[in-house]
Chain A
């Protein structure tokens, strides 16, 4: 059996004349594609080459080809491997928790609640604050000196102070929790949008049939939103995996190297103060960038398979 033909068949191939070119779609696309080629596509390709050289900030344009040396170095460097491990831990922890919190907030605000938009605005303020500033803010709130607010509150409740940043294991959890604070509002908005597409009658009918809240969630809401949840999951995972700015102001990768992430490691290697004297290791940093690129690319393929092809390739 033949597949159904698409609604608009692609035009037959004809010889491209200047007139046809100007009347067609390409002049509209040239500015966008040109800027993307220069500022996005070319750097990505260039990075692959850079990662095979020993380029430093002092030797831009005159680097030596060193083969896979940079990769050999980073994959035997316990510091790099440690940051790779923490980055995965951070991503899984932050995305997982943000989803639980964000989805719970969305369910709460999807209920008929007076002043709902006020609550939504209050929660969404966390989304407009830059990661750098979020880091500074929580660095103060979780501070272990007597000025720390959270420990002060715990003390009032009779709970002993927590070593939020000086204990390596707790510091990792602190970084994840702060990122959850930062990103769950976005997931809330995303999920709220999805929840509002669910017909009220469907949920009400289940209620009249006596379905409990948990049953309604499990058998009506979640199945209906599964596509949206998958897309949001992958989307958030990509952003979370490439975390850098939050680490700069929150922990600086410490204590020791406990909270180093790939992004932070890459910036430190290339621009960690040495670049002004020409000592920034651009080649080695580029190799780290390639690792980040490849992992992100794998997530992207996953997204495209779920989000693009499943809808028949139509956007």
Chain B
């Protein structure tokens, strides 16, 4: 760091500035929040407006006679309720599968020193950085050959597999912070390794597991690319695939698009708001923690 000559400000200027800045901070923060929240508020409004109001008064947020007609139309004329259920299966199933496999692997990596450990870690990190989207075509062929094409099991297995590297990485970070003496005291009491992991270590890293859960759940709930090529039967469509099927590349009915979008957003937003306190540490786990 290079030294710079610094000239102190007189005291009165510092304090006056501080107060001005304080007010300014709030104004800026509110404006920034609005930039991110306004589109959502507008979505709610557009989905409830009567049709004429969409084109005549796009800026008016209060609907002139709110109507749930589009929602009724979506849920009665399309299997959106089934899509919601399917997305829940894929997101929860895939997330739990990842976490289960990753906890076991993270234990192996955290509690053992062995030849090839650095190579294994390097490989896991490399795979983690490669978006699954890149190999969509070979995955499409693989799933056909495994008879997992167009099946719910196939999506759960695939969703479970793709995030294993991230899961291992995060959970190993948490396990590494637990002193090994804790394991050893359990062994002295005659506990096996699996018992130690399950009953002693896992309870300690519950916050880590929770943050991993929400990050993975959000990613899988929102996934579209792979699901769109692997699912053919509308009965097992995920919500994103069903939404694309309903709206296509350029649906012009704003009320329909807004309502369908909100049906995608609201469940995940509730999960996010409920588990938010676990989220922040997990998002930065890859870089800040270590």
Contacts and interface: CB of A to CB of B under 8 A. Distances in A.
B115 A252 contact: no
Given A28-B107, A125-B269, A130-B240, A39 B58 contact: no
Contacts of A13: 115
B218 interface: yes
A141 B42 contact: yes
B136 A136 contact: no
B64 to A, nearest CB: 15
A266 B136 contact: yes
B73 interface: no
Interface stretch (B3-11, B181-189, B202-210): B3-11
Contact of B105 (A29, A211, A314): A29
B101 interface: yes
A299 B131 CA distance: 12
- Interface of chain B: mostly helix, strand, loop or mixed: helix
B284 A282 contact: no
A167 B70 CA distance: 32
Contacts of B290: 311, 314-315
Contacts of B280: 189, 192-193
A206 B276 CA distance: 34
A232 interface: yes
Interface in A242-288: 242, 244-245, 248-249, 252, 263, 266-267, 270-271, 275, 282, 285-286
Nearest to A243: B133
B72 interface: no
Interface string B115-128: 10110111011110
A11 B290 CA distance: 25
Interface stretch (A74-82, A84-92, A106-114, A168-176): A106-114
Contacts of B111: 25
A108 B287 contact: no
A113 B21 CA distance: 11
A238 B132 CA distance: 12
B79 interface: no
B279 to A, nearest CB: 8
A146 interface: yes
A258 to B, nearest CB: 15
Given A263-B133, A308-B122, A36 B127 contact: yes
Given A238-B129, A248-B249, A267 B243 contact: no
Query: Which of B117, B134, B160 lies at the interface centre, i.e. has the most chain A CB atoms within 10 A of its CB?
Result: B134
Interface of A: 8, 10-11, 13, 24-29, 31-33, 35-36, 38-44, 46-47, 50, 55, 60-61, 105, 108-109, 111, 113-114, 116, 118-119, 121-133, 136-141, 143, 145-149, 152-153, 156, 181, 185-186, 189-190, 192-194, 197, 206, 208-211, 215, 219-220, 223, 228, 231-232, 235, 238-239, 242, 244-245, 248-249, 252, 263, 266-267, 270-271, 275, 282, 285-286, 289, 292-293, 296-297, 299-300, 303-304, 307-308, 311, 313-315
